[in-house]
Amino acid sequence: MAEVSLNVEAPLEAVWAVLADGWSYAGWVVGASHIRDVDKGWPEPGTRIHHSVGPWPLVISDTTEVVRCEPSRLLELDARLWPAGAARITFTLLARSESVTEVRMTERVVRGPSTLMPDVVQDFLLTPRNKETLQRLDDLAKGRAAPFH
């Protein structure tokens, strides 16, 4: 299981606001290129983001579904990318102060041909991508937390 964490310099509410905005998904998830639709009620369990992955014109249309949600604390997703399979991704938030939130992201492949890869190879491939995902989440959360000028 690939696990990364980052102390985001934004209040917990700002970080959660990004995660809870399904339309922002392509802005912070590395590889997601286009959001086609977001189910009403996102991020309630069972709701989905309908997205495309990859560079145009080689895009693959797929979905990411909420498995578990504890607002302002935890978001667990089933992210599909057929034909590679699907991964279980969990974001855990912890306020370190009024202006710093620790975000922990874990990802493990749960279905499809990618499950045949040894864990060490999965970690090697996923860790850099997930670090960049958290950096992008950090940038968007900081933007939401910034006062309007």
pLDDT in tens, 108-123: 988 877 777 788 888 8
Nearest in space to 68 (alpha carbons), one of 78, 58, 60: 78
The number of distinct structural domains making up the chain is 1
pLDDT in tens, 59-109: 889 999 999 999 999 999 999 876 778 899 999 999 999 999 999 999 998
Q: Which residues pair with 63 in a beta bridge?
A: 50
Backbone Cα Rg of the chain: 15
CA 125 distance to own-chain centroid: 16
Share of the chain above pLDDT 70, in %: 97
pLDDT value of position 53: 86
The pair phi, psi for residue 33, each rounded to 5°, is: -115, -20
d(CA 63, CA 94): 27
Contact 91, 19 (CB under 8 A): yes
146 residue type, one letter: A
Tokens for 111, please give them: 């279905």
CATH number at residue 64: 3.30.530.20
The residue segments making up the domain with residue 15 are 2-145
